Structures are given as C-alpha cells and as structure tokens.
Amino acid sequence: MSPMTRPLTSKFSLNDLRAARKNGTKVPMLTCYDFTTARLMQEAGVPALLVGDSAANVVFGHDTTLPVSLPLMMELAAAVRRGAPSAFVVADMPFGSYHGSVAKGVKNVCRMVQLSGCDCVKIEVAASHGRLVRELADAGVAVMAHMGLRPQTVGLLGGYKSQGRTADSAEAIVELSMKMERAGAAALLLEAVPPEVSQRVVEQTELPVIGCGAGPACHGHVIVTQDGLGMTTHRPRFVPDLGDVAAKLKEAFSLYVERIATGEYPAPEHQYQMPADEKAKFLAGSEF
C-alpha cells in the first residue's frame, strides 16, 4: 500500500465530497461491481465507488451499456455496499429505468436506494430530466447528474464520441449543469469533455464535479477500473496505466493449469484426512 493511502476507517459521505470542493482535495473514484473488489478498494483507501452500468461491457461482455436491467444493477450495488460500507457508493440507474414518466423514475430510484443501500444515484440527464431530479431531491435522494458523453444515448450519437468540442455544445453542457443544480442535483459527472468545459462548469456551479476524461478542474475523477488495470482490449486516452493485472492473472491461470497437468496439485497439504482408526475401518471394509 502506498504510504499516502490508508484504509477507510470512517464513512465517506456527500459532505466529504462537498468539502473536497471547498478545500481543493481531489477525490478518487473507481468503478466496482462486486463484494470482493469493493472490500479491497476500501482497504486501499478508495473513498468513492461507482457501480456503473459499464458492468454491461466489462463484466457481461456487451458492446453497449444498454442491456443491463434495474434488478441486476440493484444486486451489484448491494454487493458493493456490503463490501465497502465506509465508501461513498454511487449506483447507476440503467437505460429505461427512469424514462417515460417522472413517477416511474422516482419509483425505480427509490427502489434502488432502498434495496441496495447506495448513497447516491447517477442519472444520465437531458434538460427534460429537471423535474425528475427535483422530485428526487425533494424525496431526499442524492442525485449525481451525468452530462457530456452519455453512453446510454449511443444509438443517437452513432458511437462513443467526446462532447462539448464546439462553442455551442460546450455552452449547452454548462447551461445543463446549472439547470441540474437548480433542480437539486447533489453532484455532477462530466464525461469526455474538453478541460475548458469542466473548468466553466466548476466556475458556474457550486456542486462537486466528478470528471471522467474531463480535465484537471474537476473535484474528483472516475475511471472504469478494468481499463486502468489493463484488463480490457482498449484503454481510453484519459485512463492512467495502473498496472498490467491481465498479465498477472493469465500467469496465475497458466500456473494452475500446469500444476494440474503435472500432478503437483493436489498435494497432501491440500487434502482432508480421516482419523487413523476410521481410515483403517474404511479401508478394511468394516461396517460403521
């Protein structure tokens, strides 16, 4: 463990995220989809975990984030919550779970909060989601409004493309961030936008801003964990190289195959033993 990090010993909350904006502390966030990894991340001192619908890609092998369902996301978020009770857990609302009507969105978000125990929900927002965010804020739900590249709109975008690269589109993101703040959003997430855009959002709002490929002005940063660990086939340009875990895993898998093939495993130390007298009876064919 790095000498600069230590396990989480107290709950990291929304107030801590807000404080980070004021005091200049940068908040690290990683995606997480299971109990075991969540436990390790908490022990490593990661204060914020995103249970992203990116699980569709890196866990289930889909080309987009669209196939994951609300019940599945609730199960994943609940597992992460159990693994990292001290972390600030943000749960993604999947495609279709908050569309159609405000009532439907509120109902599904409340189910997510109740059944997963998450601290915050993330919603990929358009201007029309202002009322939904307001209703949720009034109900006491912390909402992280996701803007910029919104992966759930991949069908409309025609692919995963960075956003805010023209003056008009950049201004639209800034205006949307201000609208979400007025609606009661607790935090913002900007994905794949130029640093000038995130800088302007930080200046024009008072909310904590999490960046996902959005430049240094953000108060925290999130990446897909598997991208940073070299476990995916492509590392986006904004993702740091945190090591080649894939190579280590393949080495371990190969070692297991070799030990089975050579008969090295299972060795005596891997086996359970019968008491000597019971073993003698059994080998002699005695009745029990």
Closest by alpha carbon to 51, among 72, 88, 80?
80
From first to last of its 288 residues, the chain has per-residue pLDDT tens of 444 568 888 999 999 999 999 999 999 999 999 999 999 999 999 999 999 999 999 999 999 999 999 999 999 999 999 999 999 999 999 999 999 999 999 999 999 999 999 999 999 999 999 999 999 999 999 999 999 999 999 888 877 889 999 999 999 999 999 999 999 999 999 999 999 999 999 999 999 999 999 999 999 999 999 999 999 999 999 999 999 999 999 999 999 999 999 999 999 999 999 999 999 999 998 555
CA atoms within a 13 Å half-sphere pointing along the CA-CB vector of 223: 19
pLDDT at residue 4, as a whole number: 54
pLDDT at residue 216, as a whole number: 97
Would you kindly state where each structural domain of the chain is located, as residue ranges? 14-243, 249-284
What is the spatial distance between Cα 3 and Cα 25, in angstroms, rounded to a whole number? 17
Structural domain 14-243, CATH architecture: Alpha-Beta Barrel (3.20)
pLDDT at residue 3, as a whole number: 43
DSSP state of 25: P
Closest by alpha carbon to 110, among 124, 125, 121, 96?
121
Q: Catalytic: 191?
A: yes
Taking the CA atoms of the chain, what radius of gyration do you get in angstroms? 23
Closest by alpha carbon to 137, among 125, 124, 121, 114?
121
What is the spatial distance between Cα 194 and Cα 218, in angstroms, rounded to a whole number? 11
Q: Which of 75, 191, 251, 269 is catalytic?
A: 191
